[in-house]
Amino acid sequence: MSAAAAGGDEVSNVTSPGSETQELATRAGVEVRLEGLRRRYGQVVALDGVDITVQPGELVALLGPSGCGKTTTLRLLAGLEDADEGQIVVGGKDITRLPASRRDMGMVFQAYSLFPHMTVRQNVAFGLRLRRAGKDKRDERAAEMLELVELSSQAERYPHQLSGGQQQRVALARALAIEPQVLLLDEPLSALDAKVRAQLRDQIRRIQLEVGITTLFVTHDQEEALAIADRVGVMSRGRLEQLAPPTEVYSRPATPFVAEFVGLTNRLAGTVSGSTVTVRGVDLPLVDPSTPPGTAIALVRPEAVTLASEGASDSAALVGTVIAATFLGATSRVTVDLGDITILAQLSTSDAVDHPAGSRVALTIRKDPVLVSRDGSDSPHA
């Protein structure tokens, strides 16, 4: 599913047969529609007209750099902030004016959200207590949730006695205990260690699929987003750049921003004419044939670049010296110095070892359709 390789020596539950069946089964979630959301803080525009529809039971990841508006979107949906303009419709009901406490959503915060003076069980049961559920019902439900997140043994502990990963699992249990319509996660893994992050990420996805709840997941880590989402929404400067399944976002980015934010990109100067862009003597097809002619910067993925010994290239401008190779396991990333610029190539390690540092190589660029951008800005101009 994900093109960005994770340090995955763990068995990823996401791809185990059981959950796949569930993936295909009917999900019981509700549809969430965000229409035309706008939000400003004084002079700063946080959201500039955002439209997102999340299908029932779907997990949409909002991805982007800090300040792009992804957290604001989530908080608007939760009701913790007010929208200046726009509408929020959940399960067919317009809830834009509804206060946060009545929106029936479960939220997991980045950190520190567990009540320190309550035990784990009391934390998880808190929402039910507010809804005046009887003690037996509360305990039963809390136990059920704790089992779901595999923390039943910690029920009588206090938050400060748990690790960061455990605390976030309790937070998840607490959010789900009230059987909300929507699950919101605000960078839940950002405050955790790398190893814990990967494990917890998969666990969250497994639980989300099992429960079948519509989920919005905010993160700045593209690996996370690509690994667990049904669709990824890439945001920048208050706008949604692309909302598509992970493979599409990665291999068919809609805008230069997406191309450069997700995965690695080579920026190669070239000239557009007709429906191709000529880069260093090679013609590459364009994603958008109607691009106006002139100088432009072509965005080429490292996987599209292959190495061969010197002499086997179609262009003299693509000959250079290997200056570094980064071993990533099955693949390696090789940096080639062409004299005036450097290019990254990503290839299988067994191929890469034929061209050690210092050797002369010739590059071939696969003729995948490319995006171009002009003068290095992020303006959408595919």
Smallest separation (angstroms) from other proteins to the CB of 12: 28
Minimum distance from CB of 138 to other proteins (Å)?
A: 13
- Tell me the closest approach of the beta carbon of residue 171 to other proteins, in angstroms: 8
Distance CA 170, CA 122 (A): 11
The least CB distance from residue 213 to other proteins, in Å, is 15
For the bound state, the minimum distance from the C-beta of residue 82 to other proteins, rounded and expressed in Å, comes to 3
Q: Is 86 exposed, middle or buried (0-12, 13-18, 19+ CB in 10 A)?
A: middle
Q: Which is nearer to other proteins, 112 or 327 (CB)?
A: 112
Minimum distance between the CB of residue 106 and other proteins, rounded to whole angstroms? Answer: 7
Binding site for other proteins (CB under 8 A): 41-42, 44, 46, 66-67, 71-72, 75, 78-84, 97, 99-107, 109-117, 126-127, 129-131, 160, 174-175, 178, 191
Tokens of 336: 């080639």
In whole angstroms, give the CA distance from residue 304 to residue 366.
Answer: 5
State which residue, 131 or 195, has the beta carbon closest to other proteins: 131
Looking at the Cβ atoms of 49 and 67, the one nearer to other proteins is: 67
Which CB atom, from 116 or from 329, has the smaller least distance to other proteins?
116
In this complex, which beta carbon is closest to other proteins, that of residue 233 or of residue 302? 233
Say which residue the tokens 């100067």 belong to: 269
Q: Rounded CA gap, 258 and 371, in Å?
A: 10
Distance of closest approach, residue 126 Cβ to other proteins, in angstroms: 6
Residue with smaller CB distance to other proteins, 30 or 114: 114
Nearest 10 degrees: Cα torsion 134, 141, 212, 180: 40
Residue 112: other Cβ atoms inside 10 A:
10
Give the residue among 270, 239, 231, 269 at the shortest CA–CA distance from 255.
239
DSSP 29-92: ---EEEEEEEEEETTEEEEEEEEEEE-TT-EEEEE--TTSSHHHHHHHHHTSS--SEEEEEETT
Nearer of residues 85 and 314 to other proteins, judged by Cβ: 85
Q: What are the strands, taking DSSP E only, across 274-330?
A: 276-279, 282-285, 294-300, 305-309, 319-327
- Read off φ and ψ for residue 39, nearest 5 degrees: -155, 130
Closest distance between other proteins and the C-beta of residue 55, in Å?
23
Compare residues 3 and 143 and give the one whose CB is closer to other proteins. Answer: 143
Q: Which of 81, 230 has the CB closer to other proteins?
A: 81
Most distant CA pair in the chain, distance: 79
Using CA atoms, how far apart are residues 125 and 90, in angstroms rounded to an integer? Answer: 25
Two structure tokens written together for 269: 């100067």
Least spacing, CB of residue 101 vs other proteins, in Å:
5
Query: Going edge to edge, which strands form the sheet with 319-327?
Result: 305-309, 360-365, 319-327, 331-337, 342-348
Nearer to other proteins, 219 or 373 (CB): 219
CB of 78 to other proteins, least distance (A): 6
Q: Which residues make Cβ contacts (< 8 Å) with residue 281, sequence separation at least 6?
A: 314, 315, 316, 317, 318
